[in-house]
């Protein structure tokens, strides 16, 4: 047996292994597409928060210019004055965000000015949250796909408005990818092993195998939720960058029920500003700060579990023990498949939607000899915190640094190939978020409890078994080594300090253990302000007035195979709903 842990080896062919290889995503476009920024929108209404007045008034104040916040602000600005407060900067003109080739660059930049803020959950999995206008749509792998009709029904959404809202976003940010040989082999392999039928290219969520959309256009340029601000009414909206909201301000309207008046935010010089909602009307503050930021801000503002708030000397506005509960991150597990033949560079294009609750996706890449930056980044690179070769809690900064160093010493051939990954639906396992400090810039403590629910583990095992069968399929034969050639490849790489294969050195290691030890994140974390627990079905925060939460923190499970389409849809959808509600109310006054 070769060293390391093979997932299976039934037919004498190397089947694959998890690894910490940098996924090579250097785009064929890396040579000269920076000029594409010429086509990026420029917004007259976007400013540095240092220019904001000390006090200002708006009909709607939206906290967080992310994937939900941008479409929401654009929609409300059609009829009302809107302030959009984003703690990060602009995505425009930053090639780390715009170019597909640079995937991972922003997440490997750990400086305070980075568009990404790293966090490590109590589970030990290294993760990232957005800090930029456009939110995580500026960092993500671009896959674009809708939620299922069942998900829409269970959410209690209006199906027609949902479809119109998806289309509204799609006109600006969704594209059909060009499918090349390696992705085509994954597609054919999935069908060969029974993930049927083939549904072609579609945004719809249907059992079987399909090609989904992408927010990268044909030239490899990313289109983010910030692009949806092209729909805004320029005279109705102000977007402030580097505006970090520290607190939501409450008062009472002569009753005991707390009502929101506005927010305080700090600019990049630390100067405090206040923004108030216009009194007397149906004006509101809407929090769209994402699954980490939204529950954290509610707690910092006095809405959360009273004992926890008191422990941090935060005065309690509303004792709400469910704020920060129901946090989940769908576990991702992947198998690296070294390829004897060249493969194209691809991010996620194909997805297998299985009947047993696993979604199978894939990304491929190729090393360009000569020290390109490509090997540094990618969906599976330790540079961005992905490290599946050691169990989560052993992924210390030292171990991570060693993996990064070791990667740069690897032979180019070791990088040729691709990853086939699985994400489980749901998940059923949940955890929680707790404050660590009173500083909004500090990450709270987050626990996801990966695989706590045995059903989640079962889905992972079935997903990994299916991936093995795809790799062994006839369709995939041109992209796998035979066993003997694989030994040669291993000989090239095994002496390097990197642990290419998981530590388990015997083949009796169970797939259950494999799932636990090699778990990574696919960054689809959600929850913390869930519908039915913290907000009602109109996304109004229970127990207080003039406050809503609209973003991924409200989800009870991750929508579709990947969530961003539905997060954007929700921003637009709720914008339209709020306008309609208010029109109906004021029309009848
Ligand atoms: C690396 C990565 C890869 C992914 N890949 C995919 C994929 O291929 N396909 C897919 O569908 N999904 C993908 N996702 C998931 C998807 O992008 C997210 O689920 C979604 O974008 C979350 O949207 P949101 O609006 O809830 O939060 P975000 O988009 O994160 O928006 C929250 C915003 O609020 C701001 N904010 C937070 N706190 C404050 C504050 N106090 N004051 C002011 N502003 C604040 C943040 O800076 C941020 O801009 C990926 C995510 C990541 C990170
Ligand atoms: C915002 O403006 C201030 C003052 O003009 C400047 O010092 C700061 O660098 C700007 N911030 C950013 C991040 O552009
Ligand atoms: C791009 O990413 C690299 C690597 O993380 C970083 O060094 C660089 O400063 C980033 N550039 C911008 C414009 O953010
Ligand atoms: C919305 O579109 C989906 C296909 O994308 C379709 O299945 C569904 O029936 C549509 N819903 C309504 C209410 O038209
Ligand atoms: C809370 O306030 C008390 C009294 O002022 C102080 O002793 C304590 O350290 C504070 N705790 C925190 C977490 O700030
Ligand atoms: C594998 O490659 C050979 C030679 O290019 C080609 O003839 C064959 O069709 C390929 N097999 C598959 C399953 O794609
Ligand atoms: C791999 O290297 C070992 C010694 O390091 C050698 O014995 C073996 O033959 C090599 N295998 C292949 C396939 O090259
Ligand atoms: C093989 O793996 C199993 C399961 O992880 C473990 O219990 C056993 O001790 C291992 N055996 C050896 C020889 O390492
Ligand atoms: C928005 O304003 C326009 C006129 O400016 C009006 O015709 C329209 O009905 C309003 N829509 C809503 C939803 O309030």
| Interatomic CA distance for residues 44 and 369, integer angstroms | 43
- Residue 116 C-alpha to ligand 1 middle, in angstroms? 10
540 forms bridges with which residues in the sheet?
Answer: 548
**Is residue 260, in this structure, part of any structural domain at all?**
yes
pLDDT digits (tens, 9 = 90+) for 221-233: 999 999 999 999 9
| Interatomic CA distance for residues 179 and 159, integer angstroms | 30
DSSP classification of residue 199: E
Task: Tell the burial category of 80 from Cβ atoms under 10 Å away from its Cβ (0-12, 13-18, 19+).
Answer: buried
pLDDT digits (tens, 9 = 90+) for 459-476: 999 999 999 899 889 999
Residues whose CB is less than 8 angstroms from the CB of residue 51 and which lie 6 or more positions away in sequence, other chains included: none
DSSP classification of residue 445: E
**Is residue 294, in this structure, part of any structural domain at all?**
yes
Q: What are phi and psi of 513, to 5 degrees?
A: -65, -40
Residues whose CB is less than 8 angstroms from the CB of residue 151 and which lie 6 or more positions away in sequence, other chains included: 205, 557, 559, 560, 566
- Residue 53: its pLDDT value, please? 98
Nearest-CA residue for atom 4 of ligand 6: 478
pTM of the prediction? 0.92
**Is residue 19, in this structure, part of any structural domain at all?**
no
Q: Are 410 and 493 in contact (CB under 8 A)?
A: yes
Beta strands in 12-146 (DSSP E): 46-48, 55-58, 60-63, 82-85, 116-120, 126-130, 143-144
Ligand 4 pocket mutation pick from 150, 152, 159, 165 by most atoms within 8 angstroms of CB? 159
Q: In which element (H, E) is residue 517 found? A: helix 511-517
Task: Tell the burial category of 12 from Cβ atoms under 10 Å away from its Cβ (0-12, 13-18, 19+).
Answer: exposed
| Interatomic CA distance for residues 231 and 401, integer angstroms | 43
**Is residue 393, in this structure, part of any structural domain at all?**
no
Report residue 420 as tokens. Answer: 């086939």
DSSP classification of residue 80: S
- Residue 490: its pLDDT value, please? 58
Report residue 409 as tokens. Answer: 């010493």
Residues whose CB is less than 8 angstroms from the CB of residue 207 and which lie 6 or more positions away in sequence, other chains included: 353, 354, 355
Angle at 38 (CA atoms; ends 218, 232), nearest 5 degrees: 90
Angle at 262 (CA atoms; ends 258, 264), nearest 5 degrees: 120
**Is residue 197, in this structure, part of any structural domain at all?**
yes
Report residue 382 as tokens. Answer: 């330790």
Report residue 341 as tokens. Answer: 């033949």
Residues in the chain, pLDDT under 50? 1-12, 18-38, 367-374, 494-506
| Interatomic CA distance for residues 211 and 176, integer angstroms | 8
- Residue 23: its pLDDT value, please? 32
**Is residue 39, in this structure, part of any structural domain at all?**
no
Active site residue 524: yes
The ligand with the least distance to the CA atom of 583 is 9
Assess whether the C-beta atom of 477 lies below 6 angstroms from ligand 6.
Answer: yes
Residue in this structure with the two tokens 């420029």, named with its chain if needed? 42
pLDDT digits (tens, 9 = 90+) for 519-548: 999 999 999 999 999 999 999 999 999 999
Q: Are 544 and 250 in contact (CB under 8 A)?
A: yes
Q: How many domains does the chain have?
A: 1
DSSP 411-422: -GGGG-EEEEEE
Find the CATH number of the domain harbouring 162: 3.50.50.60
- Residue 329: its pLDDT value, please? 98
Determine how β-strand 116-120 pairs with β-strand 244-252: unpaired
Q: Are 376 and 384 in contact (CB under 8 A)?
A: no
Ligand 3 atom closest to residue 107's alpha carbon, by position in its atom list: 5
DSSP 261-277: EEEEEE-TT--EEEEEE
- Residue 381: its pLDDT value, please? 84
Residue in this structure with the two tokens 């102000």, named with its chain if needed? 238
Residue in this structure with the two tokens 């929508």, named with its chain if needed? 559
Of 13, 1, 18, the closest CA to residue 481 belongs to: 13
Report residue 202 as tokens. Answer: 């579609």
Which parts are annotated binding residues?
Answer: 132, 245, 523-524, 552, 563-564
Nearest-CA residue for atom 11 of ligand 2: 268
- Helix (H/G/I), strand (E/B), else coil: 97: helix
Q: Which domain holds residue 306?
A: 46-375+410-587
- Residue 366: its pLDDT value, please? 54
**Is residue 400, in this structure, part of any structural domain at all?**
no
| Interatomic CA distance for residues 79 and 59, integer angstroms | 10
Point out the catalytic residue in the list 30, 223, 273, 524. Answer: 524
Nearest-CA residue for atom 12 of ligand 5: 312
- Residue 9: its pLDDT value, please? 44
Distance of CA 510 to the CA centre of its chain: 29
- Residue 252: its pLDDT value, please? 73
Nearest-CA residue for atom 12 of ligand 6: 475
Residue in this structure with the two tokens 């300090």, named with its chain if needed? 497
Q: Are 408 and 375 in contact (CB under 8 A)?
A: yes
| Interatomic CA distance for residues 239 and 42, integer angstroms | 12
**Is residue 196, in this structure, part of any structural domain at all?**
yes
| Interatomic CA distance for residues 53 and 214, integer angstroms | 39
């Amino acid at each position: 047996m070769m060293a390391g842990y093979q997932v299976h080896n039934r037919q004498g062919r190397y089947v694959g292994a998890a690894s910490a290889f940098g996924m090579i995503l250097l785009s064929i476009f890396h040579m000269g597409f920076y000029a594409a920024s010429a086509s990026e929108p420029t917004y007259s209404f976007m400013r540095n928060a240092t220019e904001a007045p000390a006090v200002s008034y708006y009909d709607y104040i939206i906290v967080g210019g992310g994937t939900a916040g941008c479409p929401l602000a654009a929609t409300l600005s059609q009829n009302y004055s809107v302030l959009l407060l984003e703690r990060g900067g602009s995505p425009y003109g930053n090639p780390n965000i715009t170019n597909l080739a640079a995937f991972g660059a922003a997440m490997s930049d750990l400086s305070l000015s980075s568009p990404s803020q790293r966090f490590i959950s109590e589970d030990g999995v290294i993760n990232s949250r957005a800090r930029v206008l456009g939110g995580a749509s500026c960092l993500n792998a671009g896959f674009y796909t809708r939620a299922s009709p069942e998900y829409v029904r269970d959410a209690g959404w209006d199906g027609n408005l949902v479809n119109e809202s998806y289309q509204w976003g799609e006109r600006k940010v969704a594209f059909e990818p060009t499918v090349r040989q390696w992705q085509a082999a994954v597609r054919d392999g999935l069908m060969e092993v029974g993930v049927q039928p083939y549904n072609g290219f579609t945004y719809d969520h249907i059992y079987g195998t399909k090609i989904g959309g992408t927010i990268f256009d044909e030239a490899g340029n990313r289109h983010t939720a910030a692009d949806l601000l092209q729909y805004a009414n320029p005279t109705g909206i102000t977007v402030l960058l580097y505006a970090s909201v520290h607190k939501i301000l409450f008062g009472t309207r002569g009753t005991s029920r707390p009502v929101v008046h506005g927010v305080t935010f700090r600019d990049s010089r630390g100067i405090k500003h206040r923004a108030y909602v216009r009194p007397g009307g149906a004006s509101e503050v809407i929090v769209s700060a994402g699954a980490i930021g939204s529950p954290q801000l509610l707690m910092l503002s006095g809405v959360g579990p009273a004992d926890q708030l008191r422990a941090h000397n935060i005065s309690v506005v509303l004792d709400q023990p469910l704020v920060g509960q129901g946090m989940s991150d769908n576990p991702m597990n992947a198998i690296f498949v070294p390829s004897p033949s060249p493969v194209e560079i691809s991010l996620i294009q194909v997805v297998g939607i299985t009947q047993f609750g696993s979604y199978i996706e894939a990304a491929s890449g190729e090393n360009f000899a000569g020290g390109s930056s490509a090997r540094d980044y990618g969906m599976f690179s330790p540079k961005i915190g992905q490290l599946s070769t050691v169990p989560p809690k052993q992924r210390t900064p030292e171990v991570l640094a060693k993996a990064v160093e070791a990667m740069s010493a690897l032979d180019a051939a070791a990088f040729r190939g691709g990853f086939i990954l699985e994400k489980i639906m749901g998940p059923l396992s949940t955890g929680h978020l707790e404050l660590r400090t009173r500083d909004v810039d500090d990450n709270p403590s987050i626990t996801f409890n990966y695989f706590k629910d045995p059903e989640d583990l079962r889905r992972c095992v079935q997903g990994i078994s299916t991936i093995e069968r795809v790799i062994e399929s006839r369709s995939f034969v041109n992209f796998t080594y035979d066993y003997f050639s694989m030994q040669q490849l291993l000989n090239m790489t095994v002496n390097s300090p990197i642990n290419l294969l998981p530590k388990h050195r015997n083949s009796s290691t169970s797939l259950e253990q494999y799932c636990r030890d090699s778990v990574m994140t696919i960054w689809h974390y959600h929850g913390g302000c869930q519908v039915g627990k913290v907000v009602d079905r109109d996304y109004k925060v229970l127990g207080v007035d003039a406050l809503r939460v609209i973003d991924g923190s409200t989800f009870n499970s991750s929508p579709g195979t990947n969530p961003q389409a539905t997060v954007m849809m929700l921003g637009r959808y709720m914008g339209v709903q709020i306008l309609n509600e208010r029109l109906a109310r004021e029309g009848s006054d």
